[in-house]
Amino acid sequence: MTHRRERDSLGSIPVPEAAYWGAHTARALDNFPISGVPVSRYPGLVVALAMVKRAAARANRDLGAIDPVVAAAIDHACREIEGGNHHGHFCVDMIQGGAGTSTNMNANEVIANVALEHLGHARGRYEYVHPIDHVNRCQSTNDVYPTAIKLALISAIHCLDHELAALAESMRIKGDEFAHVVKMGRTQLQDAVPMTLGREFHAFAATIEEDRCRLQESADLMLECSLGATAIGTGITAVPGYRARAVDALSEISGLPLVPAADLLEATSDVGVFMHVSGMLKRSAIKMSKISSDLRLLSSGPQNGFAEILLPARQAGSSIMPGKVNPVIPETLNQIAFAIAGADTTVTMAADNGQLQLNAFEPVIANALFQGFDWLTNGVRILRTHCIEGITANEAELGRRVSRSAGLATAFIPAIGYAAAAEVAHKAKDGQMAVIDAVAALGFMEREDAQLILDAVST
């Protein structure tokens, strides 16, 4: 491998000739071999960084801060990256010291070198396009990095929302399919009152729709933009007018209605919006886990469990027990939720420990959130395609159980009173007869009238 020599404020360092990154990235690769997860693992973040740099170049060009030819070359490089090119050169580890400086400089160097090639110059000839003096003009990691994280999280929320919408629709379809299937509802794992399996699945759809609304609300909170804050919020090194022009340019490029932060010092030091997003992500994950746990219970057995529904068989469930099939898809959603709940604690601790004018721990916040959104988005997709769409109801067994459940006696309280209904329930619990037969046998109601009551409460 051939190398070129590059210099930074610490001195000279070799950089692979084929690399679009430079000296700062080379040092970061040596300093932070931590998670093995490069920035390129999250394409949304790479695209967001390119958008921010393109908006900055446009603002700097309009304000005369950089030469229009250089600005155009930067714009070209950013568009290539936004189109999916050169992502493999965003190679620094997501977990890093320096509050994201390594990620920002990785972006600056890649964009500078792509721009250099576009202008006909060799990589590393920074006298023509410089990573800091041109690509990073009027910027700091401390306003670029959180802005890019927000843009990428908005995109991640939209991806998750798309999958949640599809899952909710699948739940509604199953709800319609099972609308006629009567079963016993349960409280505290004990028989309660009759309902339909269809209503159970419609309730799953409703809770998913609630989470879609909450997640969209959290996305709206991230439209506040701190570009122009530079190091700590004072705007030092930014030319007059840069802040407004950069935010406007980023709105145009991203298609999002971004607004300038009301207080740039506060926006630079506070990461409350990331805690909020993390909380909403955890809420959605836990609710997916709860639904998955319900599916596992309802399908348990199949001979010696609830066995109310049958999940599609995805793979053999044991290396020793023939014929065993496990609920592997719902189990996966449970584990995703466990990881996201733990990551929410990480985000909380990172937010708490960001001292004074800057939170240095945004890298671990970003990694926790992007991983969580990726995992949950993928998990919701497989829950729909590999599980929900193939569920069938054990109608015969449900019908048999409902007819003998003492819980049916509750439906008769308005007609015969609590004491009489309790007598019916005890007779049914003893296994002597079905509830409807007990009502008639004890003389509380004609069988035909009792059937009308059961039909009414079971729909």
Residue 428: what pLDDT? 77
Summarize pLDDT for 75-92 with one digit per residue, the tens: 999 999 999 999 999 999
Residue 453: what pLDDT? 83
The residue-averaged pLDDT of 23-44 equals 96
Give the whole-number percent of the chain exceeding pLDDT 70: 99
User: How would you classify the pairing of strands 224-225 and 259-260?
Assistant: parallel
Is the pLDDT at 411 greater than 70? The verdict is: yes
Residue 458: what pLDDT? 66
The residue-averaged pLDDT of 319-339 equals 90
The residue-averaged pLDDT of 406-424 equals 87
Summarize pLDDT for 203-249 with one digit per residue, the tens: 999 999 999 999 999 999 999 999 999 999 999 999 999 999 999 99
pLDDT band at 432 (very low <50, low <70, confident <90, very high): low
Q: Can 102 be counted among the known catalytic residues?
A: no
Give the separation between CA 28 and CA 103, rounded to whole angstroms: 9
Name the least confident of 117-121, 185-189, 337-341, 387-391: 185-189
Mean pLDDT of the chain: 93
The residue-averaged pLDDT of 375-381 equals 98
Residue 431: what pLDDT? 64
> Could you say which of 254, 289, 318, 405 is catalytic?
318
Is the pLDDT at 399 greater than 80? The verdict is: yes
Q: For residues 287 and 279, is the Cβ–Cβ distance under 8 A? A: no
What lies within 8 Å, CB to CB, of 291 at 6+ separation is 204, 207, 208, 333
Q: For residues 82 and 250, is the Cβ–Cβ distance under 8 A? A: no
Give the separation between CA 364 and CA 173, rounded to whole angstroms: 40
**CB burial readout 206-245, b (16+ within 10 A) else e:** eebeebbeebeebbeebbbbbbbbbbbbebeebbeebbeb
Is the pLDDT at 395 greater than 80? The verdict is: yes
Give the separation between CA 67 and CA 71, rounded to whole angstroms: 6
- Residue in the structure block whose two tokens are 């670029």: 144
pLDDT band at 199 (very low <50, low <70, confident <90, very high): very high
**CB burial readout 270-287, b (16+ within 10 A) else e:** bbebbbbbbebbbbbbbb
pLDDT band at 5 (very low <50, low <70, confident <90, very high): very high
Summarize pLDDT for 36-78 with one digit per residue, the tens: 999 999 999 999 999 999 999 999 999 999 999 999 999 999 9
What lies within 8 Å, CB to CB, of 418 at 6+ separation is none
pLDDT band at 425 (very low <50, low <70, confident <90, very high): confident
Summarize pLDDT for 252-311 with one digit per residue, the tens: 999 999 999 999 999 888 999 999 999 999 999 999 999 999 999 999 988 888 899 999
Residue 459: what pLDDT? 66
